[in-house]
Structure 1
Amino acid sequence: MARTLEFFFDYASPYSYLASAQVEALAKRTGAELRWRPFLLGAVFKATGNVPPISTASKAAYLAKDLLDWTRYLGLPPFQMPGTFPINSLKANRLGLVAAEQGRIAAFSHAAYRAAFVDGKDLNEPGVLAELARAAELEPQQALAKAESQDIKDALRRNTDEAIARGAFGAPTFFVGEEMFFGNDRMQFVERALGGG
């Protein structure tokens, strides 16, 4: 039976963007079932007493270089920090869950991360969210309405609460069973835990 790889992330997280560019290939190489699990990174930070890297001046200065280094290394388009950073990603995370219900979360996630970190778009703008829905082959009006439903709001809260309860303190966070891995730079350990590499 294939092992499951749980990928907890937030569309506001540039390091989750880097992980999203690698995680499908990793799952394919290892035969793992991949579960994309949007959560609210701000709530995770608050619950765990963690702070975003951008809140420390020296880390913020290094962040831009590090993200450019990573995008070059992974062969991704040049990284662009959106003018609205830190991103209000609540609606995008909810829309990701709508996409997940329809089996379109990978396509939605790639479109959302490209919009934010390549094109510099605001993921809180209704027009941008509608574009992302279309990119994932969702009907925009229906998807945006569903994203405001109580069941989707509750699902995002459950993902967030579960991640915190299991030890998450930031994004991206991966679980193989109950073994946790944090960061896009730990994916080789994720692969080993899944029996690859």
Structure 2
Amino acid sequence: MSKTVEFYFDLGSPATYLAYTQLPKICEQTDSQLVYVPILLGGVFKATGNASPATVPAKGRYMFIDLDRYAKRYGVPLKINPHFPINTLVLMRAVTGMQMRHPERFAAFVDCLFKALWIEGRNLNDPATVGAVLSENGFDPEEILALSAEEDVKSALKDTTEKAVQRGVFGAPSMFVGEQLFFGQDRLDFVIEALS
């Protein structure tokens, strides 16, 4: 495997969820490696002066219609979360902690959270709901909460977010093939071209 896709992601983005459903298949087809880089989208927005398209009402309405079109094209389920936007600070710290401490369970962890947010439409702003989702998927909520509070985990997420901004990331999903940045799940065709 000579090619790599670095996938900068935050669970709170529906477009990132769609990219997440497609990238493993793309990497398999192009004999490439997928590298997950958790970032805090709120931190990226703050550092770059960007904001979610959902903050512009007409654009937000259009965005959700367009994401639904892509979900149908990809053949994947998507439910726009009625609790959107989700504050993902603790969630992304937990994702970072799982990647650092339990890489063997990282994929299952990320998968259950994306599913809860963008298939089941659950309110992951609510700690009790997060706890229920984790328990249902075989994770100990108290262990995960403790992991997300560890100082080196918090520092690691802050570091990856700052480095993402330094590389030119202004939103999620962002993907790098070498030094080429591709933003948005609607740019996956360019990712495929860069890998081919």
- Could you tell me how far 1:137 is from its partner in structure 2? 4.7
Query: Does 1:36 find its partner at 2:24?
Result: no
- Could you report, residue by residue, the CA deviation over 1:73-132 in whole angstroms, capped at 9, with x for unpaired residues? 11112x322232111111111111122231233222221111112211122333333344
- Could you tell me how far 1:31 is from its partner in structure 2? 2.0
Overall identity of the aligned pairs, in %: 39
- Give the Cα–Cα distance (whole angstroms) in 1 for the partners of residues 137 and 5 of structure 2: 22
- Give the Cα–Cα distance (whole angstroms) in 1 for the partners of residues 176 and 22 of structure 2: 15
Conserved? CA contact 1:19–1:184, under 8 Å: yes
- Give the Cα–Cα distance (whole angstroms) in 1 for the partners of residues 73 and 29 of structure 2: 20
Query: Does 1:145 find its partner at 2:146?
Result: yes
Distance 1:80 1:51, change over 3 A: same
Task: List gaps (5 residues or longer) in structure 2.
Answer: none
Amino acid in structure 2 at the alignment position of 1:191? I
- Give the Cα–Cα distance (whole angstroms) in 2 for the partners of residues 94 and 11 of structure 1: 11
- Give the Cα–Cα distance (whole angstroms) in 1 for the partners of residues 132 and 98 of structure 2: 13
- Could you report, residue by residue, the CA deviation over 1:4-29 in whole angstroms, capped at 9, with x for unpaired residues? 21100111111000000001111112
TM-score of the pair, normalised by structure 1? 0.90
Conserved? CA contact 1:16–1:171, under 8 Å: yes
SS of the aligned residue for 2:15 comes to helix
- Could you tell me how far 1:186 is from its partner in structure 2? 0.9
Query: Does 1:72 find its partner at 2:102?
Result: no
Conserved? CA contact 1:93–1:156, under 8 Å: yes
- Specify the alignment match of 1:90 in structure 2: 89
Distance 1:58 1:192, change over 3 A: same
- Give the Cα–Cα distance (whole angstroms) in 2 for the partners of residues 45 and 163 of structure 1: 11
- Give the Cα–Cα distance (whole angstroms) in 2 for the partners of residues 179 and 20 of structure 1: 19
- Give the Cα–Cα distance (whole angstroms) in 2 for the partners of residues 44 and 30 of structure 1: 29
Conserved? CA contact 1:5–1:174, under 8 Å: yes
Amino acid in structure 1 at the alignment position of 2:98? A
- Specify the alignment match of 2:114 in structure 1: 113
Distance 1:155 1:133, change over 3 A: farther
- Could you tell me how far 1:68 is from its partner in structure 2? 1.5
Conserved? CA contact 1:108–1:132, under 8 Å: no
- Specify the alignment match of 2:59 in structure 1: 59
Amino acid in structure 2 at the alignment position of 1:15? A
- Give the Cα–Cα distance (whole angstroms) in 2 for the partners of residues 31 and 132 of structure 1: 33
Task: List gaps (5 residues or longer) in structure 1.
Answer: none
- Specify the alignment match of 1:181 in structure 2: 182
- Could you tell me how far 1:147 is from its partner in structure 2? 1.1
- Specify the alignment match of 2:6 in structure 1: 6
CA RMSD of aligned residues (A): 1.8
- Specify the alignment match of 1:164 in structure 2: 165
